[in-house]
Structure 1
Amino acid sequence: MATDTLSTSQASVERTRLIRASLRKRHLSEAIFRVLGLAAIILALGFVALLFVDIVRKGAPAFTQSNLHLAVTFDPALIKADPAPVRAEGQSDADFQAANLKWQRDLALLNWNKVIEASLRAAAPAGYDIDTKEILSIAETDARHEVREMFVADPTLLGKTVDVDVLASANAVNWIRGNIDRSLGDAQQQLSAPARALIDEFVANGTITNGFAWSIFTNVDSRAAPASAGLLGAFVGTLWMMLIVIFLAVPIGVASAIYLEEFAPKSRLTDFIEVNINNLAAVPSIVFGLLGAAVFINYMHLPISAPIVGGLVLTLMTLPTIIIATRGALLGVSPALRQAALGMGASKTQMVFHHVLPVTFPSILTATILGVAHALGETAPLLLIGMKAFVAAVPATPLDQATALPVQIYLWQGNENRNFFEPRTAAAIMVLLLVMICLNGVAIYLRSRLEKRA
């Protein structure tokens, strides 16, 4: 009897030991899993932070610009033009406008670079030896247009001297910021030795100063004057495309999902449609670009490089995402809600639109905005419909030629003046990321508000 009791006690002790060992092993596994999960999160956040820090570090210089402060003299010896036309008594509006346009054309034919050159020489040390081409390379090429427009707006400036701020050239900016190695020989430099020395003199005496680069937000892209190139045209083109996507993809996608999930009879046709929608969500975006070029441009003859085409292509690309997300939200609604609504006498349509949809609004809205934000960053389909063309204008309508922020980033990244445009490329990425973050923030805010109401 004592032997049986001892044997039972030993077995109990052994079971307890095994259970404790199993628990220690389980707790150790859980601890390791938590540590690995936390490490994965920290590592992912670290890579994201590294990406943002690197982009900000590279893009921050692009938000400052080098300005030349010049005393511009509108010398009558250089500006040999007739006085501005004055409307004669009885002269029609058309005749006066024609005379004014002729006067402006005559002014455009003058060599305004001489005015800029005279201003630069006046700012340089007395007797500084530099030729015309070298000294003009310091100022941006559109400086002559700015001075001419000032004179067109106020012809009484003839013979006067006024202070004017113009942009320094992209090559001058590279030299000032050290984007190019100063120890390189003259043959490897973008500017001549006299021009580089004069730039250093201008920086020292305050003729060249740095200021906030408003031009990156207020100007369009420019090849002739890289220092004045901006994102306004690309931003407006992107805005037009996003409006088209929102007004087309959202109602069509949500309506399609509601019909397929709530009203469509289960059949081979609906199964075929569902399979194709799921397949379309996985199709590479470049395929949608090929489709857009073939259908909207070649067949429907819509204008190339227009936001209307880009918006339609991005709509096709975003539709599967919105449909799948909306159907998932509808599937997540409890069947009890449907049954309760039908039991209270509501029709199927009333049940869907008055009871089911309000519950799914937060999820649908979030999926929609995330889909639009995803479309915002697409580049490949836009390249195939011609939006990589250089467009130096702000699109007034969706039918005007335009580019988009992702394409503008692509174009600047491939610019031959890499030293100057690398910061601008990073700055454009910052603007694009800011727009996407704002869209995601709006989605989170609206979702939280709608969830509270629900």
Structure 2
Amino acid sequence: MNKRMPARPKTIDRINQGLAKRHASEKLFHRMGLLSLLFGITCVAILFSSIISKGYTAFQQTFIQIEVHFDEQYFTVSGKDNDTEALSTADYGGMVKQSLRSQFPEAASRQEKRLLYDLVSIGATYQLRNMVMQDPALIGQTTPVWVPANDDVDMLIKGHMKREAPEAERRLRDQQIVWLDQLIAQEQLSLKLNTAFFTNGDSREPELAGIRGALMGSILTLMVTLLLSFPIGVATAVYLEEFAPKNKWTDFIEVNINNLAAVPSIVYGLLGLAVFINFIGFPRSAPLVGGLVLTLMTLPTIIIASRAALKSVPPSIREAALGIGASKMQTVFFHVLPLAFPGMLTGTIIGMAQALGETAPLLMIGMVAFIVDIPSGIFDPATVLPVQIFLWADSPERAFVERTSAAIMVLLGFLIIMNAIAVMLRKKFERRW
């Protein structure tokens, strides 16, 4: 008997089986991509929620209302003929202490008085001095004044310190909490907008610390970076892409530009320390040096983005311009550059956003110094917002935790705005070919 040969699978069946496997693989890949996207969004949401939950309370500050008697005896300074100097050196701390003693006369012992005085921030003395310097007519009068509370009081009122904890486990004593309850009952303690966070420089006292100095330092540093990196980066990109001959030297330069974009930022800080400070002699911790270092760091990014923008311009634009008699220079500057400019500007903004968030290179040139004064020029000592965050994160006081998170919120806000501007500019000026 002849055995029947097994039927060979049809070609269409093999194709259908292969299609089924490919479709299953595509669905799996699609699901993995969605899961990865959801995981990334979840991590970002957790990060943002953690920062916001810790930092939003920094935009409010606890204030205590005290009745201040600007007694003339506090302004009697022997040997002072200058009225302005006498007003500036008056015993404003004594006025604050006298006001607290008048409000809580039961604080009789030396230790109780010290605990009472600790309820109010040292910033109250500066506040009273500014009031008198602006209006000397206050001398001899009694007026209610809202003064900032100590950082421990602020933490208690905001719920970061548990009053139910044993006295030995918190920084406020039971008697101090009793006085605070009396102030709350008398409506002399309240949470108000913390304007000092935006108007003050750095301070050892958390309730007085602000970001204005760091913000001005960041603005001055980015101004120097932008004024140097944008024209140099665009000029370099135009030369390499439009005019430079294609030989081993330009290939060597292009490879090194791409490599410099991946160099760790701290290496640029070491370079700035060696060249701009030790060799040239520029002042440490100055926005000028910070801008120069960040210029070196952002140049590769701007050059690469600008070259990509130039490459995106169709060759027909160049050919048409040359065909009607334009020179090579006229073709580049009047036809190619206007079309590539949106991409160049987008790359520059992204480079500036990268520079705004840098910390490591600026630490190397001394911008980690504790600076209270607000910088007014590129040669003044200054710090920047990321370095300010780094300093506050290293502080042991609990109140600096919320200041750190609030400063991160401000920094993220600037970064989001800068990237949003870059996207808007690209959407507005981009031309599709």
Alignment equivalent of 2:51, drawn from 42, 51, 55: 55
2:429 maps to 450
- The amino acid across from 2:359 in the alignment is T
Alignment of 1:239-250 (within 5 A): 239-250=219-230
Q: Is the 8 A contact 2:374 2:382 kept in 1?
A: yes
Q: Is the 8 A contact 2:87 2:132 kept in 1?
A: no
1:47-74 Cα distance to aligned partner (Å, 9 max, x none): 1111111111111111111011122111
2:136 maps to 155
1:134 maps to 115
Distance 1:245 1:217 in 2: 24
Q: Is the 8 A contact 1:129 1:194 kept in 2?
A: no
Q: Does 1:338 align with 2:318?
A: yes
Q: Is the 8 A contact 1:137 1:191 kept in 2?
A: no
Following superposition, the deviation at residue 299 of structure 1 comes to 1.3
2:28 maps to 32
More displaced stretch, 181-190 vs 198-207: 181-190
Q: Does 1:176 align with 2:157?
A: yes
1:83-103 Cα distance to aligned partner (Å, 9 max, x none): 9xxxxxxxxxxxxxx943xx3
Q: Which runs of 5+ in 2 are unaligned?
A: none
Q: Secondary structure at the match of 1:276?
A: helix
Alignment of 1:4-19 (within 5 A): 14-19=10-15
1:145 maps to 126
- The amino acid across from 2:389 in the alignment is I
Q: Is the 8 A contact 2:75 2:86 kept in 1?
A: no
2:334 maps to 354
Q: Secondary structure at the match of 1:179?
A: coil
Q: Is the 8 A contact 1:69 1:164 kept in 2?
A: yes
Q: Is the 8 A contact 1:412 1:425 kept in 2?
A: yes
1:21 maps to 17
Alignment of 1:259-270 (within 5 A): 259-270=239-250
Alignment of 1:3-402 (within 5 A): 14-81=10-77, 99-100=81-82, 103-124=83-104, 127-129=106-108, 131-223=112-204, 225-402=205-382
1:3 maps to none
Change in Cα spacing, 1:24 to 1:415, as seen in structure 2 (3 Å) is same
Q: Which runs of 5+ in 1 are unaligned?
A: 1-5, 84-97
1:131-163 Cα distance to aligned partner (Å, 9 max, x none): 332111111102112212322333322221112
- The amino acid across from 1:149 in the alignment is N
Q: Secondary structure at the match of 1:302?
A: coil
1:305-345 Cα distance to aligned partner (Å, 9 max, x none): 11111011000000011111111222233333322322222
Q: Is the 8 A contact 1:58 1:422 kept in 2?
A: yes
Q: Secondary structure at the match of 2:202?
A: coil
Q: Secondary structure at the match of 2:430?
A: helix
Q: Does 1:436 align with 2:415?
A: yes
Distance 1:154 1:335 in 2: 70
Q: Number of matched residues?
A: 428
Following superposition, the deviation at residue 258 of structure 1 comes to 0.6
1:353-390 Cα distance to aligned partner (Å, 9 max, x none): 22222222222111110011001000001111111111
Distance 1:15 1:299 in 2: 77
Distance 2:354 2:97 in 1: 49
Distance 2:86 2:67 in 1: 24
Following superposition, the deviation at residue 28 of structure 1 comes to 1.3
Change in Cα spacing, 1:453 to 1:129, as seen in structure 2 (3 Å) is farther
Distance 2:89 2:430 in 1: 65
Distance 1:211 1:158 in 2: 27
Following superposition, the deviation at residue 76 of structure 1 comes to 3.1
Q: Secondary structure at the match of 1:442?
A: helix
Following superposition, the deviation at residue 128 of structure 1 comes to 4.6
Moved over 6 A (4+): none
Q: Does 1:424 align with 2:403?
A: yes
Q: Is the 8 A contact 1:138 1:195 kept in 2?
A: yes
Distance 2:123 2:84 in 1: 17
Q: Is the 8 A contact 1:139 1:168 kept in 2?
A: yes
Following superposition, the deviation at residue 269 of structure 1 comes to 2.2
Distance 1:81 1:235 in 2: 38
Distance 2:190 2:173 in 1: 21
Change in Cα spacing, 1:207 to 1:348, as seen in structure 2 (3 Å) is same
Distance 1:360 1:109 in 2: 61
Distance 2:431 2:148 in 1: 52
Change in Cα spacing, 1:453 to 1:400, as seen in structure 2 (3 Å) is farther
Q: Secondary structure at the match of 2:10?
A: helix
Q: Is the 8 A contact 1:280 1:320 kept in 2?
A: yes
Q: Is the 8 A contact 1:176 1:200 kept in 2?
A: no
Distance 2:338 2:381 in 1: 40
Distance 1:453 1:123 in 2: 73
